[in-house]
Amino acid sequence: MNKVFLCKETADGETRVALVPQHIKALCEMGYEVLVQSGAGDCISFSDDDYKTAGAKIADTLKDGYDFCDIIVRINKPDDIADIREGTLHVSSFDVWNEKAAIKEYADAGVNLVSLEMMPRTTLAQKMDIQSSQASLAGYYAVILAASKLPKIFPMMMTPSGTISPARVFIIGVGVAGLQAIATAKRLGARVEAFDTRPVVEEQVKSLGAKFVKIDLGEMGQTEQGYAKELTPEQVELQRKGQAKVCSHSDIVITTAKVFGRKAPLLLTKDMTAQMKPGSIIVDMAVKTGGNVEGCDPAGDVVLDNGVLLINGDSLERNIPKDASDMFSGNIFAFLEHFWNGESKTFKLDSTDEILAGCLITMDKKVIHPGFQNN
């Protein structure tokens, strides 16, 4: 397996490409043969010639690419898999939790599926982790976006005409996106508060110069992979009460609270958003998995009755396509490099490897990932 095909993205709103010329050059030097669908890099102004210079060949159609390759690389799940040959390895983000029927379709077609969101949260796999690379950019962009819509500035300003108080920003959920949002808001001069249910986060919040909001929810914690544990309905209610006052005095609230493989907790109810000041901004970054904020709309932004702007913060990394593509491409390169066997000049598909055991969903016409076998 050494023939890689890079597809042009077709999903609505997609702005990224899964491999950039720099990484294709390195793959070709290693021994991979790379075919690129014509126009794949248009979204970030990489021409077919740029890819050719890097060592790739260009395919005019998707079918030509599928016929050529052993490994398909793209950002999103494709529209259909009819032309993909049995035994091909398909590598992309896949939204596996919402695509259980598609998983069966891949198994039946004999397409071996790697879902990059399932990459284990280990030191070894860190460089292949698209969740981290993309969430980090999204967290940055959430703050920039909110700042651009806020009718006031971020830093404190003392001028002869008066003193402007700093903007107050509250970040709920301090994983990868939340940490980057805190750092960005602090750099812009805001007063930042943050909360997360994982106790280990308090120190990280403080080290960025933000204030950790203390809410006693009783027993909390995290999974072995570092993900939050799901709260009980009573704990969610306690959290809502504990953070209501902070929301009401904040100019911007950014919510990133997710529970891996489950619906996101509803943390800001209509009663709570009604207490916020007109002109305040909320960015809900968990909207894809149900949303943290009551009234959030997967179709777009909403202005609430009291003039608060509720922004759909899904896939914000798409607003920064150049860096998002570079980082996604870096993750894919690391994955293809890690499993490259230099002697036999082939990608080694070993389902017992600890990284592949985490993210390989189907293989040899079977659903092999234990998390999806009973669907």
* Residues tagged active-site: 121, 126, 129, 132, 227
Using rule CB under 6 A, residue 265 touches ligand NAD: yes
- Of all residues in the shown chain, the one whose CB is closest to ligand NAD is 175
Stretch that binds ligand NAD, among 31-39, 104-112, 121-129, 312-320 (CB under 6 A): 121-129
For the CB of residue 126, give the shortest distance to ligand NAD in the complex, in Å.
4
Q: Which of 65, 78, 166, 175 binds ligand NAD (CB under 6 A)?
A: 175
For the CB of residue 71, give the shortest distance to ligand NAD in the complex, in Å.
23
Q: Which of 43, 118, 231, 247 binds ligand NAD (CB under 6 A)?
A: 231
Using rule CB under 6 A, residue 256 touches ligand NAD: yes
CA distances from 56 to 25, 217, 332, 354 (A): 8, 54, 16, 31
Report the 10 Å Cβ neighbour count for 10: 11
Q: Which of 73, 167, 171, 176 binds ligand NAD (CB under 6 A)?
A: 176
Stretch that binds ligand NAD, among 152-160, 175-183, 310-318, 350-358 (CB under 6 A): 175-183
Q: Which is nearer to ligand NAD, 72 or 125 (CB)?
A: 125
Using rule CB under 6 A, residue 68 touches ligand NAD: no
Q: Which of 91, 254, 257, 368 binds ligand NAD (CB under 6 A)?
A: 257
Give the residues lining the site for ligand NAD (CB under 6 A): 121-123, 125-126, 129, 131-132, 135, 172-178, 195-198, 226-228, 231, 239, 256-260, 265, 267
